[in-house]
Amino acid sequence: MRVWALPLALLALAICVTYSVARRHQTAPPATPIVPYKAAVVDPAALAKRLVSMQYGSGWPRSRKFDCSKLKCVALTFDDGPGEYTARLLDLLHRRDVKATFFVIGQMVAADKGGHLVRRIVEDGHEIGNHSWSHPALTGLSRDGVERQLRHTDDLVFKLTGVRMHVMRPPYGSTNEAVAEESRREGLAQILWNVDTLDWLNRVPTIVARRAGEAKPGSIILMHDIHRTTVEAVPAILDILGRKGFTFVTVSELYGRTPSPGRTYTER
């Protein structure tokens, strides 16, 4: 190549590269702008209500249609939660496909930030009941006092789960005509018991399991999920009663319907 031709070749190459780059810029699609991710705002109560609707339809709690007039049914009930051992209890019940009834205290529900445990009780298919706001003896309160204890808890549970409770348990089992009347106004049946495990007094799993094992067909068993020893007793309780041929049901399933507001129940 002649020396004078080299600059001309380099100039031609530069023109071609420049033209090619310009063509790519003209034909390439415009870049998609990067939009920072923003999580959707979800109303927890609305979400919980939708989940309940999906699982249970228009009615709650869902009835599994047991005929406890023919089956040996027993209702396990747990008071005073939800607490630090409730999640473990729910795991145990889930593994055995057992449904129970939880009578919750409003203050305990409020202490569980976000209401995760009370939501899980509902989502797992258990029945949930009202055990007052702060666990006073309702018989010592005025009518307005009883109303506040029940309604405040009911409103909070509804806000978190989207369901209204139909059953209540008066703290200490303390009730009278005034408490029954207010329960009726609030649409709540009074659920007591006929088998007391005394798990708050004797915190020994074997003792708790032995007392629960004395249940008869139609029994309502009283326990408390705030005690670690009670939760530890549950597998043995399920084994003892299971060997005796018992079917584990919720309170409403025990009666085959939602119990009548204001009325007191101790067993089927």
Catalytic residues: 79, 224
Burial of 28 (0-12, 13-18, 19+ CB in 10 A): exposed
Phi, psi (degrees; rounded to nearest 5) at 250:
-80, 170
The crossing angle, in degrees rounded to 10, of helices 143-161 and 44-56 is 80
Angle (CA) 111 116 117, round 5°: 80
Residue at token pair 């599994």: 64
Which among 151, 142, 160, 228 has a CA at the least distance from the CA of 183? Answer: 151
In whole angstroms, give the CA distance from residue 217 to residue 249.
11
The answer to whether the beta carbons of residues 131 and 165 sit under 8 Å apart is: no
Q: Dihedral of CA 163/267/81/117: which sign?
A: negative
Token pair listed for 15: 């023109």
Q: How far is CA 86 from CA 101, 232, 242, in A?
A: 12, 11, 22
Burial of 55 (0-12, 13-18, 19+ CB in 10 A): middle
- Per-residue DSSP letter, 195: E
